Amino acid sequence: MTDRIVIPIAERRYDAALPHVPESPEPPSGRLFDTRGRRMHDLRISVTDRCNFRCTYCMPKSVFDKDYAFLPQSSLLSFEEIARVVRVFVAHGVEKVRLTGGEPLLRKDVERLVGMLAELRTASGEPLDLTLTTNGSLLARKARALRDAGLRRVTVSLDALDDATFRAMNDVDFPVADVLAGIEAAKAVGFGSVKVNMVVKRGVNDDQIVPMAAYFRGSGHIVRFIEFMDVGASNGWRLDDVLPSREVVARIDAAHPLEPVDPNYPGEVAERWRYRDGTGEIGVISSVTQPFCGECSRARLSTEGRLYTCLFASAGHDLRGLLRGGCDDVQLAGAVSHLWALRADHYSEVRSAETAGLRKIEMSYIGG
């Protein structure tokens, strides 16, 4: 048998030139703004690149197979390293932190990390808006511990109510009922309203739009319909597979009349709609047909500690190297502020057939 070296896709190439960070970057004071005046406000952290699902639009089995080289444990940022990075980000204006992945609930003792982050306070002394996105498969088991540790909100992904459709999309034969049980468990332990993310792929699960809306209408949970995106380089994205959000809204409106709602805050990614009869609301996230780069305030920390300033970036800056190289918090803050100050990302505004073919970082690695 010959040895086969498999390099994780996320590592295969980073050809875009990364900005150089000076050895002693200027320490920042206060909030950070990029070249387009966008404030750094949110941080998404991928706590693992592994997942127990193989959603066809995210980790297709053809690529994420038994030979796929996921990151070794030693490459992952430790909880202490993550908490240190978050502390620096929070000192410079981040108020919202989302744990994601991969499947974040697969990371051992993730509730310990939640507990560490829940202790941090923003510049105005408020607790962080600390949230987590999960496929829901382990939520029924973990909801209580997450809540007790201080998690404030949870988002659950669910792409269909029809069991056969859902099993085909997660591609590991996972049943809908167990995800629904996770959502109920989250409600029961006090998470209240859960956001339910549904990625819509034309011809695959678009027949589930109205049933999903109808099922969650009146439940207090908010379904958010997400346009299928060309993240990563392995999901075979084609524009024809994208069902524009305006069509999602039209279909739901025809069955259960809707009216628009003002955003909760400026720059909210999901466009809000409520049922005219007062039975709740939905959201649509139109990253393909109505890009929201102009308001994008998100930084992303990959599983192994690279900082990305856009979901579609092809390169990230190695913060782990700084951490493990003995930098202090002032140097770390200087590097972050330097990188954010240079940020000019606006991929979704310039998306085209050519950009869709670029080699980009996989969502499971960078954190969705």
Q: What is the binding site for ligand SF4 (CB under 6 A)? A: 51, 53-55, 58-59, 101-103, 135, 157, 291-293, 296, 298, 310-312, 345-348, 364
Q: Which of 48, 100, 245, 302 binds ligand SAM (CB under 6 A)?
A: 100
Q: By C-beta, is 58 or 213 nearer to ligand SF4? A: 58
Task: Kindly report the number of other CB atoms within 10 A of residue 203's CB atom.
Answer: 9
Q: Any contact of residue 205 with ligand SAM (CB under 6 A)?
A: no
Q: Is 327 left (phi over 0), alpha (psi -120 to 50) or beta?
A: beta
> Is the Cβ of residue 256 or residue 359 nearer to ligand SF4 in the bound state?
359
Size of the site for ligand SAM (CB under 6 A): 20
The residue at minimum Cβ distance from ligand SAM is 368
Find which of ligand SF4, ligand SAM, none residue 310 binds, CB within 5 to 8 Å per kind.
Answer: ligand SF4
At 209, which amino acid appears? I
User: At its nearest, how many Å lie between ligand SF4 and the CB of residue 279?
Assistant: 28
Sign of CA dihedral 100, 101, 102, 105: negative
Tell how far CA 26 is from the center of its chain: 30
Window 153-192: contact mask with ligand SAM (x via CB under 6 A)? ----x-----------------------------------
Tell me how far apart the alpha carbons of residues 55 and 63 are, in angstroms, rounded to a whole number: 12
Instruction: Decide whether 55 or 85 has the Cβ nearer to ligand SF4.
Output: 55
Which entry of ligand SF4, ligand SAM, none binds 346, CB below 5 to 8 A by partner kind? ligand SF4
Using CB under 6 A, pick the residue from 166, 225, 228, 308 that binds ligand SAM: 228
The two three-digit tokens of residue 328, written as one number: 């202090």
Closer to ligand SAM by CB, 43 or 333: give it. Answer: 43
Interacting partner of 297 out of ligand SF4, ligand SAM, none (Cβ under 5 to 8 A depending on kind): none
CB contact set of 57 (below 8 Å; sequence gap of 6+): 169, 199, 201, 228, 235, 237
Residue 281: its H or E element: strand 281-285
137 binds ligand SAM (CB under 6 A): no
Quick one: tokens of 210? Answer: 């109205």
Residues written for the chain: 368
- Strands 96-100 and 42-46: what pairing? parallel
Residue 303, interface with ligand SAM (CB under 6 A)?
A: no
The 3-state DSSP class for residue 363 equals: helix
Which residue, 103 or 111, has its beta carbon nearer to ligand SF4? 103
- Give me the least distance between CB of 217 and ligand SAM, in Å please: 20
Q: Which residues contact 179 (CB under 8 A, 6 or more apart)?
A: 135, 136, 137, 139, 156, 158, 166
Question: Rounded distance, CA 61 to CA 242, Å?
Answer: 21
Interaction of residue 286 with ligand SAM, rule CB under 6 A = no
CA distance 306 to 18: 12
Using the contact rule CB under 6 A, the part of the chain among 133-141, 239-247, 263-271, 346-354 near ligand SAM is 133-141
